[in-house]
Structure 1
Amino acid sequence: MAELLYLTDAYVQTFEAIVTAVTDDGLVLDKTAFYPGGGGQPCDFGTLTADEQRWDVTKVKRVSGQIVHFVAGEKPGVGTAVTGQLDWDRRYKLMRTHTAMHILCGVIWRDYGASVTGGNMDPLKGRMDFEFETMRQELVAEIETAVNAEVAAARDTRVQILPREKAFQIPDLIRTKINLLPEGIKEVRTVELIGLDLQADGGTHVKNTSEVGRMRITDYKSKGKINKRIYVELE
């Protein structure tokens, strides 16, 4: 299994690695800082270089348990040393956005007890669905005020990898309506916005909520009898 650098340090921008396998689509490395996508967060982009050669990483995806870095053209052989470089501007925007989604989730869980029923994000914007029966403009304004108060509170982010048994002793660890963690997972990665939110999560986040920046709720829609969608953008 590759060493997944982003799990313990989301701020790694460049790294050295060895090619361990070559597929029709791309390269498998012994370590990577590229996030393969999941949990609503898109995959990273960037480049791989070796000597004078350079490959644009156009997609990263987990395939049959391996993380494949999709590249075009003639590929290096197994054993080649490469340097990985993330598209950091895009990644950092996604980190801010993902943490913003956790702030939104944490506020709505704390203040209204509503579970998450879905979500997705792009750099600096995203949407989340919650189990609300009704949604009105006054409620949306309350939520926007509350989430920006949490940004201003400058809450630190704490990431831990815990044994499954210990992780599931944490109350309300799973905030989604359906528990998406496979039964066979022995360790659970948790992301905590200290004092606000604690969830099982595999994505990348900023170190402090102050890095998120101001959040705006740009729209809301009913997606069903007890399913309301909230759209957020960052400034």
Structure 2
Amino acid sequence: MPHTHRLDLTDPTLREWDATVLHVDPEQGIVLDRSAFYPGGGGQPPDHGTLLWGGTQTRIAGTRKGDDLYLIPAEGDPVPPVATAVRGALDDERRTLLMRTHSGLHVLCGVVFRDFGALVTGGNMEPGEARMDFNLTEVPPGFKQTLEEAVNVEVTADRPVEVKVLPREEAFAIPDIIRTATNLLPPDLAEVRVVDIVGLDAQADGGTHVASTKQIGRITVAKIENKGRGFRRVRLRLAD
């Protein structure tokens, strides 16, 4: 069976597109030939949206990755049959907030690595807010304010955010391409998708991002938590 062509990987600004239903599984969900729904992963939640077909609407409440990308219909909504032409549409507000939040986390990661040499040990995000954990044993006085100021300097610098897919060897030749304490990339992965906040942070990543740091908007560092054994959790929010 043909697999879904992932439009979200090449154009994160795409919000509507035409597609055809390839497969329907009552347990798994709906498979399209083309989809801009981000399936979730790397701490970024999946997209929500709708499929429009024959004057009918199917709400998409989430996605799951199995042997393909499955769209999960909202409970009770009709499911388009195989070979149906559909119009897909993302929840624009949710996707845009997640893109801004994800890029904001990369700015945070870049600043903490640059200024404190700490690696990421975990993270998670929701639209407009997120947390990231670091193997940071000590923090200086005024760390929260200092970090917030440094992060927003990079936001206002309007640094380009570039995405490229590189052969594994070329990607791993980039210094510090893995910013997590544990390398989570499969050993047999031939190509690596790299998100580069030019001049600040380049790392392997599979999520969706804004085109420049200025599009993130101002970031508030809401809280710094001591998680024990030399770990710190940074919670941030988009301020607007």
What's the TM-score once normalised by structure 1's chain length?
Answer: 0.97
The residue aligned with 1:117 is 121
Confirm or deny that 1:58 pairs with 2:61: yes
Distance across 2 between alignment mates of 1:137 and 1:160: 38
Distance 1:224 1:32 in 2: 42
Mapping of residues 141-156 of structure 1, within 5 Å: 141-156=145-160
Structure 1 counterpart of 2:51, from 48, 51, 63: 48
One-letter amino acid matched to 2:29:
G
The offset of 1:135, in angstroms, is 3.1
AA aligned opposite 1:61? R
For 1:216, the equivalent position in structure 2 comes to 220
Mean CA deviation greater in 181-190 or 37-46: 181-190
Equivalent position amino acid for 1:70 in 2: I
CA shift in 2, pair 1:154/1:19, >3 Å: same
1:136, distance to aligned residue in structure 2 (A): 5.2
Deviation at 1:74, TM superposition (A): 3.6
Give the conservation status (yes or no) of the 8 Å contact 2:100–2:210: yes
**RMSD after superposition:** 1.1
2:176 aligned with 1:172, yes or no?
A: yes
Q: What is aligned with 2:93?
A: 89
Cα distance in structure 2, aligned partners of 1:62 and 1:209 = 29
Shift of residue 123 of structure 1?
0.7
Q: Distance in 1 between matches of 2:48 and 2:42?
A: 17
Following superposition, which runs of at least 4 residues in structure 1 exceed 3 angstroms of deviation? none
Q: What percentage of aligned pairs have identical amino acids? A: 46
TM-score under structure 2 length normalisation: 0.95
What SS is found at the alignment partner of 1:117? strand
Distance 2:38 2:228 in 1: 32
The number of aligned residues is 234
Unmatched 5+ stretches in structure 1: none
Tell me if the contact between 2:148 and 2:219 (Cα under 8 Å) persists in the aligned partners.
Answer: yes
Deviations 1:12-59 (Å, cap 9, x if unpaired)? Answer: 000111111101142001111000000000000000011211100001
Match of 1:21 among 17, 23, 36: 23
1:108 corresponding residue in structure 2: 112
Which of 63, 68, 71 lines up with 2:70 in the alignment? 68
Any idea what SS the aligned residue of 1:99 has?
A: helix
**Partner-residue secondary structure (3-state), 2:149:** helix
Higher mean C-alpha deviation, range 133-142 or range 30-39: 133-142
Aligned equivalents of 2:20 and 2:85: distance in 1?
A: 5
